[in-house]
C-alpha cells in the first residue's frame, strides 16, 4: 500500500554540542517520507524554492519517493535554524524564514487522492484539514502536531481531531492540549476529542499509545550511547508508524503496537547522525537486526 506524506521541506542550520552544520535537508515531510520509504512506496507533497540543492532532491529519488506532488516555487526554500543544549533534550530556535512555504497550499495530484494511508506532517492544522478534504476514503490518516499549533490554532486543531485516525504529539504538548499533568489522563482525554488513537512521544523514554476503546500500550526507546542530532526524530517516528501500517495493511491494535515500535527504531537511527545522513546509509536488514535486539530488551 502507498503512503501519502504532506508537510514541510526545509534547509536546516543546526548547532549541537557535537558540531554545527548548515543547509542540511530538513522539514517534517523530508524526514517522514524517507522513514516511510523503508516500508513501501511513498508519495511526497511539499514545496521547495529554486535554491533547493540537487543532492537533497536526489536523496528522495534514491529512496524511490514519488515527487509528482513536489512544487518548485520562485524564491527560497523554507529555512530553520536551531541550537541544542548539552542534554540534547532542549533546543532553541534561532531563526525561521518561511520563504516559499509561507504560501504553501497542498495540491494532491488527482491520481493520488485515493492513496490509502496518509501522514499529515507537522504543519498548520488548516493545511492538514485541506488535505483531508482532498483525499478519498483513506484507510488511515495520521496527523502530527506541535506546541505552536496548540497555542495559535487550537480551534482548527480540535476540528482536525475529528477527521484523523491517529494524532501524534509529545508529552509536553499532550499536557498543553489537555491541561492535565498526568500523561495517562492526557492521552485518554485526547482520544475523547476525536481520533481513534493517540501516540504520546516521550523522547528517550519511549512512547505511550492510547485507543478509543480503552486500549493502552507503552514502550521504551532503543538505548543509544551517543546522539548527534535529535532533529527530525519525531517525524521519522511518524513515518515509520504509517509505513509499517501501509506495508502490513493491518489496523488491529496488536499491529499498531508494532507500528509504534518500528517508528521508534527508525527514529533511533535518525539521531545517530545529522539530518538524514544516517538514513541515507540505512538498510532494512539493520532495522530488522535492531528490532531483534530491542525484542530481547523488552521481553
- The ranges of the chain with pLDDT < 70 are 299
Task: Find how far residue 8's CA is from the centre of its chain.
Answer: 10
Which cell numbers in the block locate residue 3?
A: 503512503
Q: Convert the pLDDT of each residue in 274-287 to its tens digit.
A: 999 999 999 999 99
Which cell numbers in the block locate residue 7?
A: 508537510
Which residues contact residue 299 at a Cβ distance below 8 angstroms, ignoring those fewer than 6 apart?
none
Q: Is residue 115 within 8 Å of 4, Cβ to Cβ?
A: yes
Q: CA of 42: how far to CAs of 93, 181, 298, in Å? A: 30, 37, 30
Q: What CATH number should be reported for the domain whose range is 3-298?
A: 3.40.1190.20
The position carrying cell 551517543 is 226
pLDDT of 299 reads 62
Which cell numbers in the block locate residue 126?
A: 488548516
Q: What is the pTM of this model?
A: 0.96
Residues above pLDDT 90, as percent of the chain:
93
Q: Is residue 246 within 8 Å of 2, Cβ to Cβ?
A: yes
Domains of the chain: which residue ranges? Answer: 3-298
Residue 55 phi, psi dihedral angles, 5° rounding = -60, -30
Q: Convert the pLDDT of each residue in 89-146 to its tens digit.
A: 788 999 999 999 999 999 999 999 999 999 999 999 999 999 999 999 999 999 999 9
pLDDT of 298 reads 77
Task: Find how far residue 243's CA is from the centre of its chain.
Answer: 11
Amino acid at each position: 500500500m502507498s503512503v501519502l506524506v504532506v508537510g514541510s521541506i526545509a534547509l536546516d542550520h543546526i548547532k549541537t554540542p557535537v558540531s554545527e552544520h548548515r543547509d542540511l535537508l530538513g522539514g517534517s515531510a523530508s524526514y517522514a517520507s524517507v522513514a516511510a520509504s523503508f516500508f513501501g512506496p511513498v508519495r511526497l507533497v511539499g514545496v521547495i524554492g529554486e535554491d533547493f540543492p540537487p543532492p537533497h532532491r536526489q536523496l528522495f529519488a534514491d529512496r524511490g519517493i514519488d515527487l509528482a506532488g513536489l512544487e518548485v516555487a520562485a524564491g527560497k526554500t523554507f529555512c530553520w535554524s536551531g541550537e541544542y543544549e548539552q542534554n540534547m533534550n532542549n533546543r532553541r530556535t534561532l531563526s525561521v524564514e518561511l520563504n516559499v512555504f509561507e504560501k504553501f497550499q497542498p495540491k494532491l495530484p488527482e491520481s493520488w487522492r485515493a492513496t490509502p494511508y496518509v501522514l499529515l506532517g507537522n504543519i498548520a492544522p488548516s493545511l492538514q484539514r485541506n488535505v483531508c478534504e482532498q483525499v478519498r476514503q483513506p484507510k488511515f490518516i495520521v496527523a502530527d502536531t506541535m506546541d505552536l499549533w496548540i497555542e495559535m490554532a487550537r480551534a482548527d486543531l480540535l476540528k482536525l481531531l475529528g477527521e484523523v485516525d491517529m494524532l501524534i504529539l509529545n508529552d509536553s504538548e499532550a499536557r498543553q492540549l489537555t491541561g492535565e499533568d498526568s500523561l495517562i489522563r492526557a492521552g485518554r482525554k485526547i482520544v475523547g476529542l476525536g481520533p481513534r488513537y493517540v501516540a504520546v512521544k516521550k523522547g528517550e523514554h519511549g512512547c505511550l499509545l492510547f485507543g478509543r476503546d480503552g486500549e493502552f500500550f507503552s514502550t521504551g526507546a532503543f538505548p543509544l550511547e551517543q546522539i548527534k542530532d535529535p532533529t527530525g526524530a519525531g517525524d521519522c517516528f511518524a513515518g515509520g508508524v504509517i509505513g509499517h501500517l501501509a506495508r502490513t495493511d493491518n489496523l488491529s491494535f496488536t499491529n499498531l503496537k508494532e507500528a509504534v515500535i518500528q517508528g521508534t527504531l527508525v527514529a533511533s537511527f535518525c539521531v545517530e547522525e545529522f539530518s538524514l545522513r544516517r538514513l541515507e546509509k540505512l538498510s532494512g536488514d539493520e532495522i530488522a537486526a535492531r528490532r531483534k535486539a530491542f525484542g530481547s530488551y523488552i521481553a
